Structure 1
């Protein structure tokens, strides 16, 4: 089945919301080999990598992205795993989009865990089961700018959020941990402010990429192919021998 654009999407944004911005073939978060399979099975002109699996399954590999690019397919990344891989492969033709991509490009020691969230299985739409550290940090900084909390509490909450494993990280878990040592009027104000004011930069970047692709839908034709160095491991994975 041919598709002009293939998008790997999961906890960052629902497929229903994504379709409001871009008509595409939406697949679950990418793991090792999934981009190569998408190229073979769907022959797209462009691939957008937003979400990917990790930890319990092999992550999407750099080599398969480079292979897709060598075949003339435009590969974009944003928000989560896509932002990480785009920052790592920008010099080789992968196109990044959004603030998180730019942060990873300029932050040499940026932690992959800053965008990680626990997610439901693909059969349950891969929806998020927590909150990403980067979204929590940006929200806390916005709360400081709005004078809801001061810089001291903001720094303490950021450190506490980082100490929580990504699989358990959420605002609810953060507040439960904070109340053990940090209870007070500032924390109470933050809890009242948060429901209406919290934002997800991951979601904003994902929507931004989808809109970008939609606006360029007539200009996403494949580019001329390029040389690709075939390694023994990649050839084995692709079934060449």
Structure 2
């Protein structure tokens, strides 16, 4: 039976919490070939991309999202890999949602690692093992407005976070680095920040994800099929990607032959 909706979700939001907001088929973070597999397996009315894998596996390809769109399947993105791909593909029909999507859309040279986090293997739930840089930066801005740190201290802390590899970014690591690298006079501010973080830290990725899921639950008409924005063209590079993902064969060949 075809699913109403397929959602690629990992460290950004607990699956149980997401399922309580929106009834859908929840799959692990997307990687190369995931969208094609989802279309072939579930025949979804719509696809939501939140989280994606990268580094140890090839990231979800733009071309497979374009292919899904050309088949009239709405594709939404938010928060993490979804926000990135939506900002990159908005002109051809992918629909973005939330602050992070808008920020990427307005900041063409923004680093991908703003939203990157380390995570457990999908088999273990894909729980987050580090903190996203964009969450840290937004939290530090909030701390500055709350009088916890000065503008100078905020910028210094942001620099420390940015210089830390994404797999090691966390608030405990940031506080430790701050005590070692910031001027001694900032020690009191770092202590204030440590006491404030448990109640003051922001998780914009989580907020954007919840916002999109609630929007789709509230407006199911958004999940209706739509016309593709342009004819899809099979390229040699995408055929190679499909083969690399173990998808090139009689099954997928017959699907593409219908395009």
**TM-score, scaled to structure 2:** 0.90
1: CA distance between counterparts of 2:38 and 2:79?
Answer: 20
- Which residue does the alignment assign to 2:172? 172
- Which residue does the alignment assign to 2:257? none
Which structure 2 residue ranges, 5 or more long, are not aligned?
Answer: 255-259
Task: Specify the SS of the correspondent of 2:175.
Answer: helix
1: CA distance between counterparts of 2:4 and 2:77?
Answer: 16
1: CA distance between counterparts of 2:164 and 2:237?
Answer: 36
2: CA distance between counterparts of 1:15 and 1:191?
Answer: 29
2: CA distance between counterparts of 1:219 and 1:148?
Answer: 42
Whether 1:188 and 2:194 are equivalent positions in the alignment is no
The alpha carbon displacement at 1:230 in A equals 1.1
Whether 1:64 and 2:64 are equivalent positions in the alignment is yes
- Which residue does the alignment assign to 2:113? 113
2: CA distance between counterparts of 1:219 and 1:157?
Answer: 41
1: CA distance between counterparts of 2:79 and 2:69?
Answer: 20
Against the structure 1 CA distance between its residues 145 and 224, is the aligned structure 2 distance closer, same or farther, given a 3 Å change threshold? same
Root-mean-square deviation (Å) = 1.3
Against the structure 1 CA distance between its residues 202 and 219, is the aligned structure 2 distance closer, same or farther, given a 3 Å change threshold? closer
Q: Which has more helix, going by share of residues? A: 2
Matched residue count:
241
Match for 1:213 among 209, 213, 216?
216
Match for 2:207 among 199, 204, 208?
204
For residues 121-177 of structure 1, give each alpha carbon's deviation from its aligned partner in whole angstroms, at most 9, with x where no partner exists: 011100000100000000000000111111011000000000000011111111111
The alpha carbon displacement at 1:219 in A equals 4.1
Residues 56-135 of structure 1 mapped to structure 2, 5 A cutoff: 56-135=56-135
For residues 78-114 of structure 1, give each alpha carbon's deviation from its aligned partner in whole angstroms, at most 9, with x where no partner exists: 0000000000000000000000000101101100000
2: CA distance between counterparts of 1:29 and 1:219?
Answer: 22
Match for 1:232 among 231, 236, 241?
236
**Deviating runs (4+, > 4 A) in structure 1?**
none
